Structure 1
Amino acid sequence: MINGIINIYKEKGFTSHDVVAKLRGITKQKKIGHTGTLDPDATGVLPVCLGNATKLCDLLTDKDKEYKTVLQLGTTTDTQDITGQILEQKQVKVTKEQICEVIQSFVGDIMQIPPMYSALKVNGKKLYELAREGKVVERKPRPITIHDITIQDIILEQDCQEVHMTVSCSKGTYIRTLCHDIGEKLGCGGCMKSLIRTKVSQFTVENAITLEQAQKLQEAGSLEEHMVTVADMFPHYPKIIVNELGERFLANGNPLRLEHIQNIEEAKQSALGEDKQVRIYNKENQFHAIYEWGDPTLLKPVKMFLN
């Protein structure tokens, strides 16, 4: 079984589930999970976890993300993006200075109402399923953080009113809704014209590979060379190696004490450090788990990655 995280460039037209299904066919293994839904019309970074790395799916879903998007001004749609049904069109009578000011007002901790066309569930049913039935239900605003918005270009011509920008944000942020809300605040309406996810945690669009490339790499027997191991996801965590006695405790996911540790001096230093979580390796130097110091003499398991 292949274990690790692969940085897939999701192409337009694929759902996140499509990517997982394709990779299952490519790798001939079932234990695969993606790290957060990306709209079918959006492209870009989609980290996919294989084997024991699937335990990291929730961790990567929680990471901050970066997007490049184009906001089309003057058009409001039911899906909050350009693919939806047009609800209203208005003349764009704002200046570039006003656009910049309004966009920057969204930077920081804000509340955002999730769109009807989303995968969130209400009473066991996905919002987009209700939306397709013509139903609109109340959605509670959720706290999100917009870390930064960098405006690359503002085009205010007769046949083109667009804002090109890069958004760095927390998990749970809908860029479609951000575009819609900016348009509302400007008074002319707006919707998302395009979206590329450029970064999730350490995974960037420059290092992503397409499904076609993944297929060729697997056929050549070199796909694993393009994957990030679970241990490499925690490079800042101190490395702790257990001894022979400790291996028996580690194999069963039991807490570890100092007498179970081979590099005991490094362990003592990490126990006194600010970051209490560590990487645990067996005596053959194979990564097995993330543990956390309960006190300076006791390590408790957080996540086990035994093959």
Structure 2
Amino acid sequence: MQGFLNLNKPFGWTSHDCVAKTRKLLHLKRVGHAGTLDPAATGVLPIALGKATRLLQYLPGEKAYKATIRLGVRTTTDDLQGEIITSKPCTGLSLNAVKSALQQFVGKIEQIPPIYSAIQVQGKRLYDLARKGEDVEVPARTVEVFKIEVLDWREEEFAEVDVAIACGAGTYIRAIARDLGTILQTGGTLAALTRTQSSGFDLTNSLTLTDLETHLKAGTFQPLVPDAPLQHLPFIKLPVTSAQKWCQGQRIPVTPSLTGILRVYNEEQRFLGIGKLINLDNQEQLIPEMVFEPI
């Protein structure tokens, strides 16, 4: 079996838990995932099956979330799973002030990841260092947020704002919640998070683990085809002889109408793998990056 599973990750499960469960249900050794989700987050977790694990590196990086940010509270983990550092009611805070502050996060921004995260510093995971009580300086990273939209606002003792966020890879929504609270001088933490889009997959077409089990028992489960999440890449079709040579690792001269990384197909629309266009001796040539289906 090979292809992709668009999994709706349940609350409380790690991404590794989901991979292990999928591996067990499908009796498949080669299973991987794209875009780690925190245990407290739910939503889209792309799962690669079989040889499709080799395609994970080519998936698009764009993601989208629905998040609830609670203001007036700061925690050690920047979400409600951590210990409370400060808690102070923030009555009187206006929605206009929140909207104005949120716009400061749109575009390319410098973001310091949460200290409880999987990022490595000096070869060690930040969450491992944090659990040991080690004081580590977390370097800022440049991330990109494409859009933030306010969905709902609840002006209570601890105000909450629901937002939809579209962003690039590596963006921490927990850090946005924390930094929003800093700007508003109230403190802020992430109260809930659902990923609605990730790496070419959408929540509306996802399956829960229960759905997967049901389909397997009924014999109706079919993974998504391997090239399903690769539609952001341009493609090229090769004639029979060229396709055979390319699958054997040879360079193929092509008309210079495309650039970069490409999906490669034969004339029968069979997905062969991923190629890269390079210029050698003033001629565009297609070289194999990853041969998925040799002929």
- TM-score w.r.t. structure 2 length? 0.91
Partner secondary structure for residue 170 of structure 2? coil
Aligned to 2:265: 281
User: Structure 2 vs 1, CA of residues 134 and 238 (structure 1 numbering), >3 Å: closer, same or farther?
Assistant: closer
Preserved contact between residue 113 and residue 141 of structure 1 (Cα < 8 Å):
yes
**Among candidates 234, 237, 240, match of residue 240 of structure 1:** 237
CA RMSD in angstroms, aligned pairs only: 2.0
Alignment of 1:130-279 (within 5 A): 130-158=129-157, 160-224=158-222, 226-230=223-227, 233-234=230-231, 237-243=234-240, 245-257=241-253, 268=255, 271-273=256-258, 275-279=259-263
What letter is aligned with 1:38?
L
**178-187 or 119-128, which moves further after superposition?**
119-128
Alignment equivalent of 1:305, drawn from 288, 292, 295: 292
Partner of 2:128: 129
Question: Offset of 1:304 from its aligned partner?
Answer: 1.8
Moved more, 280-289 or 20-29: 280-289
Q: In structure 1, list runs of 5 or more residues that go unmatched.
A: 259-267
Name the CA distance, whole Å, in 2 between partners of 1:20 and 1:216. Answer: 18
- Distance in 2 separating the partners of 1:291 and 1:36: 23
1:264 maps to none
Judging changes above 3 Å, is the alpha-carbon distance between structure 1 residues 156 and 218 closer, same or farther for their aligned structure 2 residues?
same
Evaluate the alpha carbon distance shift between residue 143 and residue 236 of structure 1 in structure 2; reply closer, same or farther with a 3 A threshold: closer
Question: Mind listing any 5+ residue stretches in structure 2 that lack a counterpart?
Answer: none
CA deviation vs aligned residue, 1:58-98 (integer Å, no higher than 9, x gap): 233x5110000000010000000011111011231422211
Query: Structure 1 residues 185 and 238 mapped into 2: Cα distance closer, same or farther (>3 Å)?
Result: same
Cα pair 1:231 1:287 within 8 Å, conserved: no
CA distance 1:185–1:252, change in 2 (3 Å):
same
Aligned match of 1:11: 10
Q: Does the 8 Å CA contact 2:246/2:287 hold for their aligned counterparts? A: no
Deviation at 1:36, TM superposition (A): 1.6
Could you tell me which amino acid in structure 1 is paired with residue 237 of structure 2? I
Shift of 1:232: 6.0
Aligned residue for 1:46? 45
Q: Following the alignment from structure 1 to structure 2, what is the Cα–Cα distance between the partners of residues 91 and 277? A: 52
Conservation of the 8 A alpha-carbon contact between 2:58 and 2:230: no
Q: C-alpha offsets along residues 225-284 of structure 1, whole Å, 9 cap, x if unaligned?
A: x513326623763341332x33542332221236xxxxxxxxx4xx324x5544333466
Write the distance in 1 (CA, Å) between the matches of 2:133 and 2:12.
24
Residues 299/221 of structure 1: CA separation in 2 closer, same or farther (3 Å cut): same
Q: Partners of 2:62 and 2:50 in 1: how far apart?
A: 24
Is the CA contact 1:241–1:285 (under 8 Å) kept in the aligned structure 2?
Answer: no
Provide the C-alpha distance between the structure 2 equivalents of 1:68 and 1:157, rounded to a whole number of angstroms. 20
Give the whole-Å Cα distance in 2 for the aligned partners of 1:27 and 1:42: 24
> Cα–Cα, structure 1 residues 252 and 11, in superposed 2: closer, same or farther, change >3 Å?
same
Relative to structure 2, which stretch is displaced further, 196-205 or 139-148? 196-205
Residue 23 of structure 1 is matched in structure 2 by: 22
What amino acid is the match of 2:7?
Answer: I
SS at 1:223 equivalent: coil
